[in-house]
A = this chain, B = another copy of it.
Amino acid sequence: MPLILGGLAFLFKHPAAGRRQIVGYRVPGDFCDVHLSELYPLDYSVAALGPVRVASIPVRDLSDLLARHPAIERAFALAELLDLAMLREWLLNIGQRNAQQKLCHFFCEMSVRLRAVGMVNGDGSVELPLDQAVLADTTGLTLVHINRTLQQMRHDRLVELGKRRLTVRDPERLAAVAEFDTSYLRVEHGRTAVA
C-alpha cells in the first residue's frame, strides 16, 4: 500500500494493441492504489513521471492502523470516494467534450490538485512534467492533434506548457472553456497532504 510523498505518477490500462489509456494521476499525499491486493487483483498499471518518493505501508499493519486511528480510516474512505468522483468526471470529460475542452479540464484539475499540495513555483506555474504523448493517452486524442490544440491554446493565451511546468495564463477563461467545477475535488475538506 504505497503512499506518494514526492513526485508524480499515473495509472493506465492497455487495450489490446499499442494504445494506452491513462486512468488517473497520483500526487503527493495520494495512495497509489487503495486496494488490498488480496481482495482485488489490480486491473491497471502504475508508472512514475520522473523521480518519485514513496512510503510503503505493509498491508499487515494496515487494518491495525485503521482501527487505531479513525481519522486515517476516514481519510482512506475519502480517498476512495474522491477517486470515484474523479473517474466519473473524467468519463464525462472524455465522452462529451472536444479536444480543447478536454485539455482545459485536465489542466484545471491538475492545477488545483498540485496547488493543494504545494507543487507551485514562484511564478505561479505548477510542477507538471509531461510530454505531449502522455497528454494524448490521457485525453484519448492523437499526439498530433494534441500538439495543434496546444498551439491554439498557447496562441489564445490560455496556458503555456513548458518542459516540466504548466503555466495557466488565464484561469477564469480556462475554467469557463472546460466547464470546470472544482467541487468534485473537495480540496477544502482536509484531504491535502495526508503526510
Q: Contact at B87–A84, with CB atoms within 8 Å?
A: yes
Total identical chains: 2
Q: How far is the CA of A140 from the CA of B24 in the complex (A)?
A: 20
User: Contacts of A97 on B, CB cut-off 8 Å?
Assistant: 15
Q: Contact at B179–A95, with CB atoms within 8 Å?
A: no
Q: Contact at A84–B81, with CB atoms within 8 Å?
A: no
Least CB separation from A17: chain B residue: B179
User: Contacts of A139 on B, CB cut-off 8 Å?
Assistant: 95
Q: How far is the CA of A183 from the CA of B16 in the complex (A)?
A: 14
Q: Contact at B88–A44, with CB atoms within 8 Å?
A: yes
Q: Which of the residues B40, B74, B89 comes within 8 Å of A85, measured between beta carbons? A: B40
A92 at interface (Cβ–Cβ under 8 A)?
Answer: yes
Residues from 22 to 62 in A contacting B, C-beta threshold 8 Å? 23-24, 34-35, 39-41, 43-44
Q: Contact at B179–A39, with CB atoms within 8 Å?
A: no
Q: Contact at A23–B184, with CB atoms within 8 Å?
A: no
Q: Pick from A13, A91, A95, A140 the residue with the most CB of B within 10 Å.
A: A95
Q: How far is the CA of A123 from the CA of B41 in the complex (A)?
A: 34
List 20 contacting pairs A-B, 8 Å CB cutoff, sorted by A. Answer: A13-B89, A13-B91, A13-B92, A15-B92, A15-B179, A21-B92, A24-B88, A34-B84, A39-B78, A39-B81, A40-B81, A40-B186, A43-B85, A43-B89, A43-B184, A80-B80, A87-B88, A90-B91, A94-B95, A94-B140
